[in-house]
Structure 1
Amino acid sequence: MVDFLPPTICISERAFSNRLVPYRSSTIMIDKGIPMRSSVAPTYENRVLSAYEGEILGEEFFSVLAQNADSDQSRVKLRNLAAIERLVAEALLPVIARYSLQPNSKVLLAEKGRDETVEYAELSWTEFAVKLKKLLGPFVREFENLLVEAPVEDRPYIQLLLDHEIALFAFAQAEGEESSDGQIHLDNFLQRHQALLRNES
């Protein structure tokens, strides 16, 4: 178990609130933490786009939390989470370009990421990790389904997307329910995918 003072980071029941952004003929949830919803079934391409936007939002979200963390160790871990979100977003760019997808502006996505941190003001680090795990679960399942649908040329990128979500889920479980150091799960992910992350970052 890592000994450090838990930062003051709150996750309320309204965290990652339902903010919907119209995209073409459907409405896609871009906030990381809530499963995507749409008035019509989203296409494979739109789901990839939503995942990409979620990584940009997530980078800003974790970065802002890191700035406000109360301990050095929690600050480092939050910065590591932000860095992984950035690397995955950059690695997905070839897929975004392949389908000529048009993401929302990074300024808008970063603003939404910052907005979500307002809800994180009172929970301890352990409570934060437990809640984070619950939020990540639906995305693990979504990306598993996305991998099944992915064409051959996209599979390395969607596998990367899925594996990073599994790593974040395992990190949150370790830091929360198991009261252990979850950094090993992030390190293992980076080591496994270092070639793709290096080539695309």
Structure 2
Amino acid sequence: GVAARAHGLGANVVVTEIDPWKALEASMDGFRVLPIKDAAPLGDFFVTSTGESNVVRIEHMKKMKNGAFLSNAGHFDYEIDIIKLKKYAKKYDIVRNEIEEYTLPGGKQIYVLARGGIINIAGGLGHPADIMDMSFSVQLGCLHYFLSSKHMEPKLYKVPEEIDRLVTTEKLRAERIFIDR
């Protein structure tokens, strides 16, 4: 999703990936796929969205361009190794609200958004209302489904398709978006 949105806004996107399926999918979607060590010197803006720890490490930051930006759209606050960046940097400054500047030895500057936290929560206002209404609708539909079911084993279930269909249909109707039937 992040790569597609950035591409849609005109960015030249390079995807780095550890999962072979996701790497192949990105390649088949038309994205250039490289290891992060090879992508680091190319990028101006880096976005993690993995849920893994220390995906962007100091050895990658050393290779980045002066003025590179780091942002985390993943699941946890530790995708960018901020602890080692703070130790390695010669200087640290808050240049704007939610933008930290780290000056590395040699003078290169790296900018970190929202302290490396999850950007839409730490640096923004969370999810917009038009997304949350759908999330809450799906949750309510699932709760109704659960309470209406006689026997459900304690395990994870996928959201039933009829709930997804109902929520999307009602959202389209509320937004006055009409589709073919």
* Length-normalised TM-score, structure 1: 0.25
Larger Rg belongs to: 2
* TM-score, normalisation: structure 2: 0.27
Of the two structures, which has the highest relative contact order with CA contacts closer than 8 Å and spacing of 6 or more? 1
